[in-house]
Chains A and B, each alone.
Chain A
Amino acid sequence: MSTPALATFDLTKDFSIGFWRKRPYRALDRLTLEITAGEVFGLLGPNGAGKTTTLKLLMQLIFPTSGRAELLGRPLGELSVKRRIGYLPENPYFYDYLTAEELLTYFAGLFGYTGREGRTRASRLLDQVGIGAERRLQLRKFSKGMLQRVGIAQAIINDPELVIFDEPMSGLDPLGRRDVRALVLQLRDRGCTVLFSSHVLGDAEALCSRVAILARGRLIADGSLSDMLAFKARGWELVVAGIDERSVPVAGSRVRRIVQIGYGRYAFELPLEPPPEQLMAELTAAGAHLVSLNPIRESLEDFFIEHVTAPDVTSIRREVAGESRP
């Protein structure tokens, strides 16, 4: 079995809160995770769930109260491992007196790419993230989205084997989001493992092979998206056109909801049972023609809301982990 790209073992972090009477606040509670090399993994959860705490622990920006973690099969903090990973912090801020080009050249230098090699790398990556002539402007003149692009470029300056992005889509416009999605897929295609945290479930659905959901510092679910969402079709969406108004069936046990999309064009939400074939046959007999028939599956968002808002995340964690883990 190959070495996981990332593994945490009962990783726990307590912070002290309060001014006079300090009391511990558990930001992350016994997180055990394993990410296989080459996969795109999403760390999801609402605000305060412990996503950024997890990533900061992995980057050793903070130290665990208990538990441990490994990156690329080695303990945290080894320089040989740091050379093989990239990290984008949440809402990144860089030295605003530097230009984008200087910043990337500086960071390239820390990886040992000095002189021309560092500058070439910096230039190539700035091209890749869409920073053009602005690369010679000081970063204090950059917008949030442009800083995010620079942040992504600096995270991959060393051609890492493992990249950790904390909210990579934050502050990006739709074009920027599209570019980052493409970049993540490119990284995956060349064998790089990508771990990213996000609030945007659509990004996770589009990119991740597996996700973990955190809430209140605890892992409440982890597994492949197909495990989480498969076989959870909860009905059908049937779209037909060319139907006479009088032939439209009445909403009831066979049809949950009817939406008129346009003249003679309707969308029907059907329950899982009975199968939709009978209704389709009746509509076709009435002169309608079929536009589409799709299963209505539980989305990641439905799953997320259902589980994150549950009153007792501990019991859910047990239940989901028991179901989804091999």
Chain B
Amino acid sequence: MKATAQIAINVFRESVRDKVLYNLVLFAILLIGASYLLGQLTAGQDVKIIKDLGLSATSLFGVFIAVFIGIGLVSKEVERRSIYALLPKPIYRYQLVLGKYVGLLLTLAINVAVMAVALYAVLLYVSSGVPEIVRRGWDAPALDPALLKAIGLILVELMLITAIALFFSTFSTPILSAAFTFGLFIAGHFSADLRNFDQVVDSPSAVRLARGLYWVLPNLAQFDVKAQVVHGQPVSLGYMALASGYAALYIAMLLAVAMYVFSRRDFK
């Protein structure tokens, strides 16, 4: 356990010293800030737009960080040969995979927290001068705690995407891993369409294939509750728990396969 923690801390340290990460976070914060300007163009909708753009920026840049750092977690170790000095140390191979995953999660959690603080700061600034009568017309308060539910599910989705990126990283090149992960990310957001494939296609075999894919591909759309939160619709804790449970199961399976693949791999 200690070794896993040491590896995780080292991944976090690597991320912290990576200039790409700072650029992504800075860009995301700028985008959240810029949503304030965009909100000015739409009378009465500014808070909604800021929330919507802020949450989207948090999710999008989180995905970029998860994919671009995630795909290199293991493959970079192999390419740069740093793994030759690390694996002979008293660690199991699975600890390396787990440590890498936990380290990147730590990085993501801190980044998402920073972006959430930036979003709340912009919302506080925008709402501070608004008269009470205008506020009453909003679907949800500016500093709505329900935003944290959306941010929480964004983090859960990022955890799943990181596991996908890490899974591919254990046996593939960074470029292919990035392509596969982005492919799954996009397919995962449209997987509900696969379930209803029989409504648009007559071929039974195509429908069966689509159903099969629906069950295998990660259902990422369920983590997107941005619209509900922005419009003040409730997101139950039960729903969040179910979505998180689904993610935990999927992540556990991906990590188990990643660990198995990695533990049998030759590093020539």
Binding site for B on A (CB under 8 A): 15, 56, 59-63, 79, 82-83, 85, 87-89, 91-95, 97-98, 102, 106-107, 109-112, 114, 151, 154
CB atoms of B90 and A89 under 8 A apart: no
Q: How many residues of B contact A (CB 8 A)?
A: 25
Binding site for A on B (CB under 8 A): 2-3, 6-7, 10, 13-14, 17-18, 80-85, 87-92, 264, 266-268
What are 12 A-B residue pairs whose CB atoms fall within 8 Å in the complex? Answer: A59-B84, A61-B267, A62-B267, A87-B85, A87-B88, A89-B81, A92-B84, A93-B81, A94-B85, A97-B13, A107-B89, A110-B3
A-B residue pair count with CB separations less than 8 angstroms: 75
Kindly provide the distance from the CB of B136 to the nearest chain A CB, expressed in whole angstroms: 52
Residue B89 contacts which of A63, A94, A110 (CB distance < 8 angstroms)? Answer: A110
A89-B84, A154-B85 in contact; A62/B90 too (CB < 8 A)? Answer: no
Residue A62 contacts which of B3, B81, B266 (CB distance < 8 angstroms)? Answer: B266
Kindly provide the distance from the CB of B77 to the nearest chain A CB, expressed in whole angstroms: 9
Judged by DSSP, the binding face of B is loop
Kindly provide the distance from the CB of A238 to the nearest chain B CB, expressed in whole angstroms: 50
A62-B266, A63-B266, A95-B14 in contact; A110/B91 too (CB < 8 A)? Answer: yes
CB atoms of A82 and B81 under 8 A apart: no
| Chain B positions within 8 Å of A83 at CB level | 90
How far, in angstroms, from A282 to B87 measured CA to CA in the complex?
66
A93-B82, A95-B82, A98-B13 in contact; A112/B87 too (CB < 8 A)? Answer: no
Kindly provide the distance from the CB of A74 to the nearest chain B CB, expressed in whole angstroms: 13
| Chain B positions within 8 Å of A110 at CB level | 3, 6-7, 89-91
A63-B266, A97-B13 in contact; A111/B89 too (CB < 8 A)? Answer: yes
**Closest B residue to A56 using CB positions:** B267
**Closest A residue to B267 using CB positions:** A61
| Chain A positions within 8 Å of B84 at CB level | 56, 59, 61, 89, 92-93
CB atoms of B267 and A82 under 8 A apart: no
